[in-house]
Chain A
Amino acid sequence: MIFLTNLINGLSLGSVYAIIALGYTMVYGISKMLNFAHGDVIMVGAYISFCGTSYLGLPAWVSVVLAMAVCTALGIIIEGLAYRPLRGTGSLAVLITAIGVSYFLQNAALLIWGSAPKVFTSVFSGMGSSIRLFDGGLTVTWEAVFTLLIAILIMILMTMFTTRTKMGKAMRAVSEDNGAARLMGINVNSTISMTFAIGSALAAVAGVLLCSAYPALMPTTGAMPGIKAFTAAVFGGIGSIPGAMLGGILIGVIEVFGRAYISTELSDTIVFGVLIIVLLVKPTGLLGKKITEKV
């Protein structure tokens, strides 16, 4: 039973990582940059939702929509102001700018909301207490169930979006070959903005789900999940949407099992250790495409 509980917790944490990793992987695919500020967008999303429910008294779902809207706008603004001027100058310059944006968001949050952790009320608290199965032998929280379901739903929607819609196809075209896409009449700027918008909206969802399960909300809340999700995106093969999903869920499960069965202090070490071994065996990640180098 403990095994099942751990598995469910792992899947649920992994789903959050997967949703964050989707944002990473989409942005990476389209602009070849590591958006280190992504973890902090999660934090902003969680704070907005927190403010919506606690200060404005909005219903939970309205606060989530509000958080998504704010983060979408934030994503577009960040891309336009900080990343667009540096497009095509090599990924290191943009990486440092992204770090600057990350510092900015963390410190802005520190000024607005203070450093004391806020207790986040779960958006599923209206659903009543957790589900009990096997005469109370197995307790599953609503957070875990919904996180998993929402992650699956997002995965399906994203796959449909990128394969069926015009915008989604444009995104894939731009990530494949920026210049050729431009020649085909695709508006590269708006496509990249759109990618940031979607990634940031997903980050808001992830932030709300993360804080529903782990209620302490601080300006640094997004940092570690951000790094883990980045790891997850690489683990699954960066640039690949199913890869991000798979990588996220595996990282979550490994982390929870490592914590439960091996060592609490070393759970991160185990996660990163597995990542290293996978990358050494399969250097492009689990579902990554192999790129042959041409002279």
Chain B
Amino acid sequence: MKKITSKGLSPYRKNEIISYGIAILGFAVISVLRSLGMVSSSLQGQLVPICAYVIMAVSLNLVVGISGELSLGHAGFMSVGAYTGIVVSGIMGTMGAADPVRFFAAVIAGALAAGVAGFLIGIPVLRLRGDYLAIVTLAFGEIIKNIMNIVYAGIDENGFHISTKSDYGLSAEGRMLLNGPMGATQVDRISTFFYGFILVMVTLFVVQNILNSRQGRAIMACRDNRIASESIGLNVMKNKLMAFTVSSALAGMGGVLFGLNYSTLLPIKFNFNTSILILVFVVLGGLGNIWGSMIAAIVLTVLPEALRQFADYRMLVYAVVLIVVMIATYNPAIRSRVSAFAEKYLRRKKPDAAPAEGGAD
């Protein structure tokens, strides 16, 4: 079944090209506009967070859309990555490493730490199903956030210190890295849009190659029918754990990019609402649809800024838009009417664009 004989590209390949295309085109357009000085300062400031959210959305899609498990704690892995990255970057900064070296060392460390966290959490958690899995991932997200709230770390001439107490004997010349509930302080802002673009491409490469591989098909088989996949000899637990671990590592990478973009970073930034925000990107973009997640992440990050003319009402408008879009996309009556309309006027047989309904049911 590998060879698609019908004309054109296989749907996998097509989706891959679309998502790489969005990333490259987005980067190119923004770069050109920036060199012409046509990017507003508010959008400038959002470029790195947008890249980080795209990475978060695509990586969460691997768990929710492709592996079919509802995870409500994705921001937890983001914070593990962010704080690991900040610490590594801080230590290397005192040793005088160049910015790109620091950044990519931080990315690797952050991805590793978050991947290990995802693996350890995944082992017990993935034994649960559906909504129970959702609540436990939520709980882990909150636990990670609370632990970050009591971690203090710093570096001075005596080396690296880490503690759960605020007075851990950092000398006066020392450099504070993590300050408990105040989060990371004095972070060197070394993330750039270009690094963000590279990490987005890495994420797309990893996720899409998994999708279009034997492993990826196994993961989707486990999502579609657990019992059938078990009976043909697939190790459901192993496949789901792999998807979960890769997704966490990528989330850690997104976290590093995000964390190194701000001079201070509070642990509360990575609370339940952030996990939910990322989930909204994934569901709105279509479960299992990689470029859908990208578009949703970009649009929904820019939307609150774009709605600034509504001033106080903007979050209210955002909420209404979210509800209306969800109903318009998922309501069966509206959907059949839209596809009938498309067939009639676009004179093109539309393939059923129904998003995969995996996950929490």
Residues of A within 8 A of B (CB): 28, 32, 34, 36, 82, 85-86, 88-93, 95-97, 99-101, 103-104, 107-108, 110-111, 227, 230-231, 234, 238, 263, 265-266, 268-269, 272-273, 275-276, 279-280, 283-285, 293, 295
Contact = CB atoms under 8 A, between A and B. Distances in A.
A9 B356 CA distance: 46
A283 B146 contact: no
Interface in B194-222: none
Contact of A90 (B124, B136, B361): B361
Contacts of B326: 86, 93, 96-97, 100
Given A36-B276, A100-B320, A265-B181, 10 more contacts: A34-B131, A34-B360, A85-B331, A92-B64, A95-B279, A96-B280, A266-B150, A268-B142, A283-B128, A285-B132
Contacts of A238: 131
B272 interface: yes
Closest 10 CB pairs of A and B: A272-B139, A104-B319, A100-B322, A103-B319, A100-B323, A90-B357, A93-B330, A107-B315, A269-B146, A107-B316
B47 to A, nearest CB: 25
B341 interface: no
9 contacts: A90-B357, A90-B360, A97-B323, A100-B320, A101-B323, A103-B319, A104-B320, A227-B138, A265-B181
Contact of A85 (B140, B284, B327, B361): B327
Given A104-B316, A293-B227, A234 B131 contact: yes
Contacts of A230: 135
Contacts of B276: 36, 99
Interface residues of B, number: 52
Contacts of A266: 146-147, 150
Main secondary structure of the interface of A (DSSP, over half): helix
Interface in B150-171: 150
A273 B128 CA distance: 15
B12 interface: no
Nearest to A277: B124
A95 B72 CA distance: 11
